[in-house]
Structure 1
Amino acid sequence: MTLYGMIFSICFFLIVSFFFSTHTVDYANETETSEKITAPIKNTSASTVESPASEEKDSPELTAFYHKIEQTMTDTAKSFNGDVGMTYVDLTTGKQVSINGTKEFYSASTIKVPLAMMIADKVQNGDLKWDDQLTFNEKEDYEDGTGIIINNIQPTYSLRTLQEYNITYSDNIAKNMLYDTFGGDVEAKKALYAHFLQKETDWDDAKFTSEDAAKILKMLYEEKSSNQEYQTIYDYMKNTVFHERMDTPTTSGKVAHKIGSYATFLHDIGILETEHPFILTVFTNGPTDAGISFISTITDQLWNIQRDEHPKK
């Protein structure tokens, strides 16, 4: 082999070795690491969240509008002598504003809304039928508090009756009998939290955040047009016997809501029917009955702003 031939062979070998070397960069891991470093940290005291479905930047008018919503929520929260968590969602744009939106509160009867939604899903899937008769078990199902079953307990109730009583009258015995269809309250709560919130909870102390509740109500609102049973739950919430908290003289007949009360925990979660409907979820823990008037106050304040000042007229 000539000298030039040897030089050519050596160069060719070096080039091939470079391109087929196993020493490569894992670009997938590098990107993942970069994304973790640059991800924004969420403010849990006061936060405004863009809708994932919306790619348009807010107009100056909308920016000012949501600033007023947030400032109103912040100022009102400061007036409450206790713990508050609030979330507002504009259902026209998807914009969410929260004050202490990730703070946990004992859920009380607000848990009856996702429970009803899961019962509706079981019927849709064919696992239950509305005319199924459920047997009352005193040891498992009896509970003092709200409801009408406690005044005249019958041996059996149809699933449809329990579904209605659970929301319209916030019936605790109806709730417990609906839990029975999952194998008891523990299994029901496990399924509920996993399905709606992708998280776990302490089963004897079930907790929600205002953002959790807003997520559930958003699902109810968005799916009720194509899901008659979700629409029925919405109607039960709108026709509840509890005319207080978010049901004020201003909002009467135009709010679908579910209150929750346990000791000093007083809550309400609702969908309000202004021209541009919005979700409001308010959780409180404070002095006796103070949460009731607080919830009415913030509801009316946000209702008036949403009705009178929303830029998308």
Structure 2
Amino acid sequence: MVTAKKAAKKEKPQQSKTNQTLRARFAVHYGPYVPQKKHHRVFLWILGVVLVLIVGVQLAYPRDRALPLASIPGKTLPFATYDESAKAIEEAFNSSRIKLVVGADKTEEFDIKTVGAEPDTERMITRMRDYELWQRFIPGSILWQPAQISTADLYFTSAQFTKFIDTVSKELSFAPTNARLALDKGRVVASEAVEGSEVSSKELLEVVSVAPIILGRTTVISVPAERVPAELGSEDLEQVRGQAEAALAHTVAITADNERFLPSKDEVASWILLSTDKKGQVTLKVDKLKVKSYIAGLNKKVGTAAGQTNITIVDGRETGRTTGKSGRAINSDALIKELSAALLKAEPKEIKLTASFITLKPSVIYNSKYTATEAGLQAYANDTARTRNMHISIQQLTGEKWKVNARATESIPSASTYKLFLALVLFDRIDKGEIKWTDPMLDTTVAGCFERMTVASTNPCAEKWIAMFGREYINKFIYARGFSKGTSFTTGGANQTTAADLTKYMTGLNNGSLVSGANRARLLDSLGRHPYRYGIPTGSTGVVHDKVGFLWDYVHDTGIVQHKRGTYIMTVMTKGQSYAAIAAVTREVERIMYP
């Protein structure tokens, strides 16, 4: 023991000497770079610790959340989940518009969704949370990742997009206007002609398809157009000056209801345009729209507005009527015809015309009322489907068990409601053991994909399953379960379905005859907590499990409603409407069913 202690004492000087040597070497090599003052060295140690902590936080930041500075126009999305990001993107997309401008002449404005565009939600979510591993080792790099989404990632449905482009290119085009007559200090002159514009559908398609669309805002797109010159300008007046002077030498007097109207020379001059005859010779013609506008002004003085007939309708049947008074107005077509012929003749110089009148029928206002009966509900559904371009199917499962359908068997684009039918095929494969919920799929699992398809309602997972199962097979599978041919995955365009088929689906889901067990529980859970609850859930006072669909200008909702007075299924499919409209329909349906 004593020997060991002595040996230790001998080693201490040796270790001390070694440490001094190491410190000396460190001082020689690194001394010039180390701060001499202690507080400077402390600062460097603190900085090092902070940088290590920052890198640690960056490495630990979850890959399934949006980055801290993620945003879309008008909304920040730090740490947002997949579902929260998808909802924000869909809402912003639905408020995105494009404004097409042809020079200073004409503009048209549209919702981007009506153009045939769909948001690539998956790609935009990836942009908001994409953060590579190597970047996470760079301190502070989490703050300069490009997670701010300003322009939308879109893809266009070819048929819908082409149809839109063809229609709008015609609306943006307009014909040139030839020079028209005018008076300048008593002398006949001609105003300058106005060029027309022709928009090529091919060029318009190219411009719109590549334009960066601002998410949630109005994007202005300048449309290329070819200027179309007028056939006749002011210089062509000389060829018909004599005819023009003769036309403007007329005095015009119009008698209507014992009142005499004398349009001024300037007014009459504005009615006459330069034109060409069948032989291509310059001539004059009367601008009938200009004359019609003048006659409309006369009608305000001598015409009588028609009254209003009020018809009371109860459950689709007329029960009362108050007939409004008839009105009268100048027969503009007859007067324009007489005036046009007289102006282009040299004689007589004095044009005296007596206006005839036509009877105006009173407008009709229908005051529809609906009783709290099945007939009343059917009448309401019929009227709503007809006047608001809706497809409605309602089935009470308890209570009176009313059944109401209006345009319910018409097949239209299903939007995302097709995912309900796709889920049936998926459940079948899972029950057979061919697919497991834990199987990897895309960047997640089958369970994760199902969540995205039914809760966030994004498309990549659904499209992957369609490719996997095959469209023909999906059709055969759902037809074997009693659904109509109105539901189809093989139309060549958007998937189709009917309101009646969706109500049938929800009925089978509710009673377990179509989907049962754990699969039923999983689907109902998704339908009860998705974020798009603006339609039936907003309008109902009950508990709602529903599936929405939105594509272009189609907006649908189908749901199981557990009202305190009974359970019912309702499907509302619309074109050109909104979720607010579906909510309003739901409120009225419940008012009739549960007064």
Change (3 A) 1:195 1:250: closer
Percent of aligned positions with the same letter in both sequences? 25
Spell out the pairing of 1:250-265 with structure 2 (5 A cutoff).
250-251=540-541, 254-265=543-554
Contact 1:196 1:216 in 2 (8 A): no
Corresponding residue of 1:60: none
Corresponding residue of 2:374: 66
- Deviation string, structure 1 residues 252-311 (Cα, Å, up to 9, x no partner): x7111111111121111111111311111111123xxx23222111111112333x34xx
Contact 1:122 1:128 in 2 (8 A): yes
Corresponding residue of 2:591: 304
- Matched letter for residue 584 of structure 2: T
Q: 2:409 aligns with which of 102, 108, 114?
A: 102
Unmatched segments (≥5 aa) in structure 1: 1-45, 47-62, 137-153
Contact 2:536 2:582 in 1 (8 A): yes
Deviation at 1:175, TM superposition (A): 1.1
Deviation at 1:248, TM superposition (A): 0.6
1:230 lines up with 2:230 in the alignment: no
1:197 lines up with 2:483 in the alignment: yes
The SS at the match of 2:538 is: coil
Corresponding residue of 1:277: 567
Deviation at 1:164, TM superposition (A): 1.5
Corresponding residue of 1:172: 459
Corresponding residue of 1:115: 422
Change (3 A) 1:186 1:74: same
The SS at the match of 1:273 is: strand
Partner Cα distance (2:395, 2:539) in 1: 22
User: Highest Rg: 1 or 2?
Assistant: 2
Contact 1:162 1:177 in 2 (8 A): no
Deviation at 1:222, TM superposition (A): 1.1
Q: Could you state the TM-score of these two structures normalised by the residue count of structure 2?
A: 0.34
TM-align CA RMSD: 2.6
Q: 1:86 aligns with which of 392, 399, 423?
A: 392
Contact 2:535 2:579 in 1 (8 A): yes
Q: 1:162 aligns with which of 446, 449, 461?
A: 449
Corresponding residue of 2:510: 221
| Greater mean alpha carbon deviation, residues 291-300 or residues 239-248 | 291-300
The SS at the match of 1:110 is: helix
- Deviation string, structure 1 residues 175-212 (Cα, Å, up to 9, x no partner): 12332441x45543453445451537334232111111
Deviation at 1:249, TM superposition (A): 5.9
Corresponding residue of 1:49: none
The SS at the match of 2:566 is: coil
Partner Cα distance (1:216, 1:255) in 2: 15
Unmatched segments (≥5 aa) in structure 2: 1-315, 317-370
Change (3 A) 1:219 1:250: closer
Contact 1:162 1:178 in 2 (8 A): no
Contact 1:266 1:283 in 2 (8 A): yes
Partner Cα distance (1:162, 1:189) in 2: 21
Name the structure, 1 or 2, with higher relative contact order (CA <8 Å, separation 6+): 1
Q: 1:294 aligns with which of 581, 586, 591?
A: 581
Contact 2:484 2:501 in 1 (8 A): no
Q: 1:245 aligns with which of 531, 535, 553?
A: 535
Which is strand-richer, 1 or 2?
A: 2
Partner Cα distance (2:422, 2:508) in 1: 13
Contact 2:559 2:571 in 1 (8 A): yes
The SS at the match of 2:424 is: helix
Deviation at 1:233, TM superposition (A): 0.5
- Deviation string, structure 1 residues 60-103 (Cα, Å, up to 9, x no partner): xxx962112212222333441xx321100111165421011111
Which is helix-richer, 1 or 2?
A: 1
The SS at the match of 1:272 is: strand
- Deviation string, structure 1 residues 211-248 (Cα, Å, up to 9, x no partner): 11111111111107952211220121111111211121
The SS at the match of 2:373 is: helix
Partner Cα distance (2:522, 2:464) in 1: 19
Partner Cα distance (2:479, 2:415) in 1: 14
Partner Cα distance (1:120, 1:213) in 2: 18
Q: 2:436 aligns with which of 123, 129, 132?
A: 129
Contact 1:109 1:170 in 2 (8 A): yes
- Matched letter for residue 528 of structure 2: K
Deviation at 1:250, TM superposition (A): 4.2
Change (3 A) 1:181 1:216: same
